[in-house]
């Protein structure tokens, strides 16, 4: 029983580490997109998985450029 608990705890720890890595990657991507949006327009093209139509999303930042 103690061996099963140890394995379960080890699996849980690995899954939490993977989740932490994924969240870090998402944070990095969101930060990069936000920085780019503030400096220049960005356009994202997404294909709907249901109807297969293309959806274009354009974002323009309103931040003031600093020198």
What does the domain layout of the chain look like in residue ranges? Answer: 2-59
What is residue 67's three-state secondary structure?
coil
Residue 9: its pLDDT value, please? 93
Q: Which is more confidently placed, 1 or 43?
A: 43
Sign of the torsion angle spanned by Cα atoms 6, 9, 11, 17: negative
Range list of β-strands (E), the chain:
42-47, 54-59
pLDDT class of 32 with cuts at 50, 70, 90: confident
Is residue 60 scored above 80 in pLDDT?
A: no
Global pTM reads 0.51
What percent of the chain clears pLDDT 90, i.e. is strictly above it? 48
Provide the phi-psi class of 42: left if phi over 0, else alpha when psi is between -120 and 50, else beta: beta
pLDDT class of 10 with cuts at 50, 70, 90: very high
């Amino acid at each position: 029983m103690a061996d099963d608990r140890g394995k379960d705890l080890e699996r849980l720890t690995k899954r939490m580490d993977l989740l932490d890595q994924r969240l870090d990657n998402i944070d990095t991507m969101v930060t990069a997109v936000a920085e780019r949006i503030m400096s220049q327009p960005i356009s994202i093209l997404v294909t709907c998985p249901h109807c297969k139509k293309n959806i274009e999303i354009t974002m323009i930042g309103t931040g003031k450029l600093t020198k």
